[in-house]
């Protein structure tokens, strides 16, 4: 049997004994050694999620050991330590052929959930394109960052920052901090605007040159704009990356970019949210607006190289550890704003 954390209702998780998975052709079963909490999981825990009808196994950032191998698998053997993501494109649709594999028509329908469990089945399409042998020196907890870092790699590539640029990252959660770390490897100067003394300290440790604690609301945007103008010599930010997933963050992002700058709306507000845009800013100031989503296989490979090569150290982003039995308490702490990401160790 496979002990699995099942989200049965908002705020309620049950540990259930489900049948152990059996790999089919091209598939592998992974004994989960580490799974990470994530903002999507927290949203689902809080209020449910349209793509995760309850009751549902959940969790999708993981690493572990190959417990069983299906026929035809040649890249992995039983006992291999691996790191993988929870999705892969079909390789056949229009978007895959247009180099927009992150928008593949099958991507979200064929993703896997259930990393908060002793075992998880990884299907053929993910095994073939988005799974890697974990380097022995890389801890399982760090290897589990492959999926969120791949999202950030895709985001930063679309932004195309140049060495010496000033980037403003709005939000000091896990994704904001990963953006800081990756931008610093590219020689970008980074300021972080967000909440929480501890998180802003992590932003400093990740390489942010400036931090400012602000709750982003309409009345606070002018103060943030003055801060950005001060550190940019009055110009504004070359790149603004919004990682709060709040409408107020989107409004602030669009207000902080310099003329000719780029705004990346990485964080996703609730469905149906509305943002009001000053059209003169977009038109006369030539502001480019991006909305990065998910990742492509090449983003996953780049994230793998960054983690495996030690270019990005994610250890400070892990706020604590828990077994499966403590998962409700972990999400309760996250709801209270305690910590960034927790490692669940089945």
Residues 120 and 228 in one domain: no
pLDDT at 277 over 90: no
- Over the stretch 285-341, which tens digit does the pLDDT of each residue have? 999 999 999 999 999 999 999 999 999 999 999 999 999 999 999 999 999 989 999
Residue 303 lies in a domain: no
Same domain? 139 vs 46: yes
Q: Which pLDDT value is given to residue 219?
A: 58
Between the CA of residue 129 and those of 47, 52, 84, what are the distances in Å?
33, 24, 9
What Å distances lie between residue 23 and 67, 68, 160, 289, CA to CA?
10, 7, 40, 43
Does residue 203 sit in the same domain as residue 335? Answer: no
210 and 116 in a single domain? The answer is no
pLDDT in tens, 245-268: 999 999 999 999 999 999 999 998
235/264 same-domain check:
yes
- Indicate whether 295 belongs to any domain: no
The whole domain housing 105 covers: 2-145+314-344
Task: For residue 309, tell me if it sits in a domain.
Answer: no
185: in domain: yes
Q: Which of 255, 275, 290 is the last residue of a domain?
A: 290
Give the domain CATH number at 324: 3.90.180.10
Report in angstroms the alpha-carbon separations of 10 from 35, 43, 59, 268. 20, 9, 15, 20
Residues 6+ apart with CB under 8 A from 18: 1, 2, 3, 4, 6, 57, 117
Q: Is residue 258 part of a domain?
A: yes
The domain that holds 176 is classified in CATH as: 3.40.50.720
Same domain, 199 and 318: no
pLDDT digits (tens, 9 = 90+) for 31-67: 999 999 998 899 889 888 877 888 999 999 999 999 9
Does residue 24 sit in the same domain as residue 130?
yes
Is the pLDDT assigned to residue 172 strictly greater than 80? yes
Provide the number of structural domains found in the chain: 2
Residue at 296 is within a domain:
no
Pair 44, 59 in one domain? yes
> 252 to each of 88, 223, 238, how far by Cα in Å?
33, 10, 14
With a cut of 80, say whether residue 217 has pLDDT above it: no
**Contact status, residue 341 vs residue 317, Cβ threshold 8 Å:** yes
Q: Are residues 141 and 158 in the same domain?
A: no
Question: How many residues belong to the chain?
Answer: 346
221 shares its domain with 237 = yes
- Residue 299 placed within a domain: no
Average pLDDT along the chain? 95
Q: Is there a single domain that holds both residue 6 and residue 126?
A: yes
**Is residue 298 situated within a structural domain?**
no
Task: Return the biggest CA–CA distance within the chain.
Answer: 62
* Statement to judge: residues 164 and 255 lie in one domain: yes
């Amino acid at each position: 049997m496979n002990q699995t954390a099942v989200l049965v209702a908002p705020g309620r998780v049950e540990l259930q004994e489900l049948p152990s998975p059996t790999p089919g052709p091209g598939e592998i079963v992974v004994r989960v050694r580490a799974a990470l909490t994530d903002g999507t999981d927290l949203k689902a825990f809080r209020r449910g999620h349209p793509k995760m009808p309850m009751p549902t196994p959940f969790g999708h950032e993981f690493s572990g050991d190959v417990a069983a191998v299906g026929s035809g698998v040649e890249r992995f053997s039983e006992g291999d330590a691996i790191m993988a993501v929870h999705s892969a494109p079909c390789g056949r649709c229009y978007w895959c052929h247009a180099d927009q594999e992150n928008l593949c028509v099958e991507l979200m329908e064929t993703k896997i959930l259930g990393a908060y469990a002793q075992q998880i089945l990884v299907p053929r399409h993910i095994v073939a394109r988005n799974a890697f042998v974990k380097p022995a020196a890389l801890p399982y907890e760090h290897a589990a960052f492959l999926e969120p870092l791949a999202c950030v790699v895709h985001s930063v590539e679309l932004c195309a920052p140049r060495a010496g640029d000033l980037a403003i990252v709005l939000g000091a959660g896990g994704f904001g901090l990963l953006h800081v770390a990756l931008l610093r490897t590219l020689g970008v100067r980074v300021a972080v605007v967000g909440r929480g003394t501890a998180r802003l300290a992590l932003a400093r440790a990740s390489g942010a040159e400036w931090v400012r604690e602000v709750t982003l609301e309409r009345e606070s945007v002018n103060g943030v704009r003055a801060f950005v103008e001060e550190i940019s010599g009055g110009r504004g930010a070359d790149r603004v990356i919004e990682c709060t997933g709040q409408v107020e963050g989107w409004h602030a992002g669009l207000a902080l970019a310099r003329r000719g700058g780029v705004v990346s709306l990485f964080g996703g507000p609730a469905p149906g949210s509305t943002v009001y845009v000053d059209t003169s800013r977009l038109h006369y100031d030539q502001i480019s607006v991006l909305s990065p989503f998910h990742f492509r296989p090449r983003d996953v490979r780049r994230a793998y190289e960054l983690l495996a090569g030690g270019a990005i150290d994610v250890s400070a982003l892990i706020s604590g550890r828990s077994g499966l039995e403590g998962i409700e308490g972990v999400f309760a702490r996250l709801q209270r704003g305690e910590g960034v990401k927790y490692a669940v160790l089945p």
